[in-house]
Amino acid sequence: MVRKSLFILILLLSVAGIYFCDSNPMDSGEEEEEVMPFGNETDVQIAKAIWASVEGYESGWAQYPGKEGWQPGNSPHGAWLKYYVNETAISDLQNFPHGSVIIKENYADTTGSMGPITIMARIEGYDSEIYDWFWAKYLPDGRLDTNEDGVKLAGQVAKGAGENGEDAACIGCHATASGGDYLFVNDQ
């Protein structure tokens, strides 16, 4: 299991390295394109790597201690939630080291019909303004979900996309978590 976790971390960091090493279009004399704050090709590739790395989490990962089984939820997730964490996350549930992955299964009710699966992965150097968290929202079959404009929900979801450039959606909501770490699950 440790070997698999190490592989996952190396994979995530490799994909993140591609993200951070992209050349600036201005350096090549080309006109700079507007970059989407999330859901771009790199974000999609990182999200695909994360999904591939968490395969089998339901039977191999721990549920968040103290939040095992059905937990009440709220919009935009679901009325009921189930939380899972990888070994890295469980090693320090108050500080969540880089390499931590938190999975939230979203349900409308407790009949077992799963809705979207939301994942937060903490990738070192990703974006210190958002505590290095990468967000992704998947359909139960592993395909990335999209917003009403067809943009894939992966990356810095809605960073600066609200009115007057404030954060919206995932980042805007999670920024209000009382611990200053973008997580509600560990708030007391």
The model's pLDDT over 122-176, given as tens digits with 9 standing for 90+, comes to 999 998 888 899 989 999 999 999 988 888 988 876 555 555 444 456 666 666 6
**Structural domains counted in the chain:** 1
- How many CA atoms does the CB half-sphere of 69 hold within 13 Å? 2
CA neighbor of 136 nearest in space, from 4, 15, 2, 1:
15
The answer on pLDDT for 18 being more than 50 is no
In a domain, 30, yes or no: no
In a domain, 183, yes or no: no
Query: Are 138 and 119 spatial neighbours (Cβ–Cβ below 8 Å)?
Result: yes
For 21-66, the pLDDT digits (tens) are 443 333 444 544 455 677 889 999 999 999 999 999 999 999 999 9
The answer on pLDDT for 75 being more than 90 is no
Tell me the residue type at 65.
P
- Specify the pLDDT at position 149: 84
In a domain, 181, yes or no: no
SS3 annotation, the chain: CHHHHHHHHHHHHHHHHHHHHCCCHHHHCCCCCCCCCECCHHHHHHHHHHHHHCCCHHHHCEECCCCCCCEECCCCCCCEEEEEECHHHHCCCCCCCCCCEEEEEEECCCCCCEEEEEEEEECCCCCHHHCCEEEEEECCCCCECECCCCCECEECCCCCCCHHHCCCHHHHHHCCCCCCCCCCCCCC
Q: How far is residue 123's CA from residue 58's CA, in Å, rounded to a whole number? A: 22
The answer on pLDDT for 177 being more than 90 is no
Measured in degrees and rounded to the nearest 5, phi and psi for residue 39 equal 75, 10
Per the structure, the complete domain to which residue 6 belongs is given by: 2-21+37-174
For 77-129, the pLDDT digits (tens) are 788 999 999 999 999 998 899 999 999 999 988 887 899 999 999 999 998 88
In a domain, 132, yes or no: yes
- Specify the pLDDT at position 178: 77
Higher pLDDT, 18 or 69: 69
- Specify the pLDDT at position 141: 93
Q: How far is residue 105's CA from residue 70's CA, in Å, rounded to a whole number? A: 10
- Specify the pLDDT at position 180: 67
The answer on pLDDT for 187 being more than 80 is no
In a domain, 105, yes or no: yes
In a domain, 42, yes or no: yes
In a domain, 83, yes or no: yes
Q: What is the pTM of this model?
A: 0.76
In a domain, 179, yes or no: no
- Specify the pLDDT at position 43: 92
Q: How far is residue 119's CA from residue 123's CA, in Å, rounded to a whole number? A: 12
Query: Are 141 and 130 spatial neighbours (Cβ–Cβ below 8 Å)?
Result: no
